[in-house]
A and B are shown apart, each in its own frame.
Chain A
Amino acid sequence: GQQLNQSPQSMFIQEGEDVSMNCTSSSIFNTWLWYKQDPGEGPVLLIALYKAGELTSNGRLTAQFGITRKDSFLNISASIPSDVGIYFCAGQRTSGTYKYIFGTGTRLKVLA
């Protein structure tokens, strides 16, 4: 099945550092979502974006809906150990079936 490209694939950072990751697609989406998944658990929604150019924050997390509507970015400021996990983007076309297509994931490890 189709999956969106996420980069980087994995990151090892020091506690307190900022983190940036992105998600790209060959198709246009009308909605971008960012999820965090802990081992053995389901994905938890972090941020939802609905308009091109939109910048939305949730605590230390900030996400942006790319102008081209083919990409999205997630930044985490001042990382802490509990930020460890896998971050997934998901794009949705608001036509047809409202299907969500997920990215390949970015695995984040935070070193204390």
Chain B
Amino acid sequence: EAEVAQSPRYKITEKSQAVAFWCDPISGHATLYWYRQILGQGPELLVQFQDESVVDDSQLPKDRFSAERLKGVDSTLKIQPAELGDSAMYLCASSHPPSEAFFGQGTRLTVV
């Protein structure tokens, strides 16, 4: 069964350091989403790609966060510099719109 792959599963980093997460969507899915989920809350969209183009990054803190999907397949989300408040689960999802989105297992980030 096709899955969304994310790595790493867990990441511990010191504040002010840079950190990056990787996502490989389900093959053929043109839409890729990065969500952030704070413990006890629902996922909130950070950035959405359609192929290689960003279609929504209204909630992305652009002073420290960046995302790219250069060839319209896999994607990288970067935080530089990391802050204590960035500790959260970072989830990647993909879909072939307008159908349902499928999520990866997520990356649990802890900033110390």
Contact = CB atoms under 8 A, between A and B. Distances in A.
Nearest to B55: A97
B103 A31 contact: no
A48 B106 CA distance: 21
Contacts of A88: 42-43
A54 to B, nearest CB: 14
A98 B33 CA distance: 11
B100 interface: yes
A31 B41 CA distance: 21
A1 B45 contact: yes
B2 to A, nearest CB: 13
Nearest to A31: B98
B12 interface: no
A105 interface: yes
Most buried by A among B33, B42, B91, B101: B42
A78 interface: no
Contact of A98 (B31, B42, B59): B31
28 contacts: A1-B44, A3-B41, A6-B42, A31-B98, A35-B103, A41-B106, A42-B91, A42-B93, A42-B103, A42-B104, A45-B103, A88-B42, A88-B43, A90-B101, A92-B98, A94-B98, A97-B55, A97-B56, A98-B95, A99-B56, A100-B33, A100-B45, A100-B93, A102-B42, A102-B43, A105-B40, A105-B41, A105-B42
Interface of B: 4, 6, 31, 33, 35, 40-45, 48, 50, 55-56, 59, 91, 93, 95, 97-106, 108
Interface of A: 1, 3-4, 6, 30-31, 33, 35, 40-45, 48, 88, 90, 92, 94, 97-105
